[in-house]
Amino acid sequence: MHNRNKLPFRQSTLGIVINNEGEFLLVNKQSYGENQWSFPGGGIDRNETPEMAIKRELAEELLTDRFEIIGQSQFPYLYEWPDDVIETAYKKNGQYFRGTELTQFWVKFIGTSNEVKAGDDIKAVKWVTRKELKTHLIFSNQWESAEKVIQEFIK
């Protein structure tokens, strides 16, 4: 078995996407349970900057490129993976990681809501109000991390 504390974090991105009505875009990924939601985003590939990765991931996951990156958060979102996830990821990628370190972006959606469709690895998408976010972001520290970024960008 590996020593978790010596393993690197997988570098990834997350886009906190907001529309003109002030609603937030959430995705239910294929690997998630019914009530598990997150903001869109994904891993940073070799030779990619975090900004390139979030643009690619948004287009792949939501089948539209009508996004404008407003800013990069100063707060990364770190989370540790359970041991079974570490093993599954190793089988898939041939590399051990202890969890994910996400570079978070504040993103404005500049299209119309019906342009957003469930794309690569996504079961469902939905727009929620800021008040509804808390009941959707149920993973460890997910809500607290989102709230920090929201407060950073909404004055």
Highest averaged pLDDT of the listed ranges 32-36, 70-74, 151-155? 70-74
- Residue 64, pLDDT above cutoff 80: yes
- The answer to whether the CB of 70 falls within 8 A of the CB of 106 is yes
**Could you tell me the CA-to-CA distances from 152 to 16, 55, 64, 73, 93 in Å, in that order?**
12, 21, 26, 7, 34
Q: What is the pLDDT of residue 1?
A: 55
Q: What is the mean pLDDT of residues 4-31?
A: 95
- The answer to whether the CB of 100 falls within 8 A of the CB of 79 is yes
- Residue 2, pLDDT above cutoff 80: no
Q: What is the mean pLDDT of residues 22-50?
A: 94
Q: Which residue is it, tokens 């504040």?
A: 106
pLDDT tens digits, 75-129: 999 988 889 889 988 998 888 999 999 999 999 999 998 899 999 999 999 999 9
Q: What is the pLDDT of residue 140?
A: 83
Q: Choose between 85 and 137: higher pLDDT.
A: 137
Where are the chain's structural domains?
A: 9-153
Q: What is the pLDDT of residue 104?
A: 97
Q: What is the pLDDT of residue 107?
A: 98
Task: Report how far residue 45's alpha carbon sits from residue 100's, in angstroms, rounded to the nearest whole number.
Answer: 14
Q: Choose between 2 and 66: higher pLDDT.
A: 66
- Token readout for 127 is 């727009």
Confidence of residue 135 (pLDDT cuts 50, 70, 90): very high
Mean pLDDT of the chain: 93
Q: What is the mean pLDDT of residues 54-58?
A: 97
Q: What is the mean pLDDT of residues 22-28?
A: 97
CB atoms within 10 A of CB 122: 18
| CATH code assigned to 9-153 | 3.90.79.10
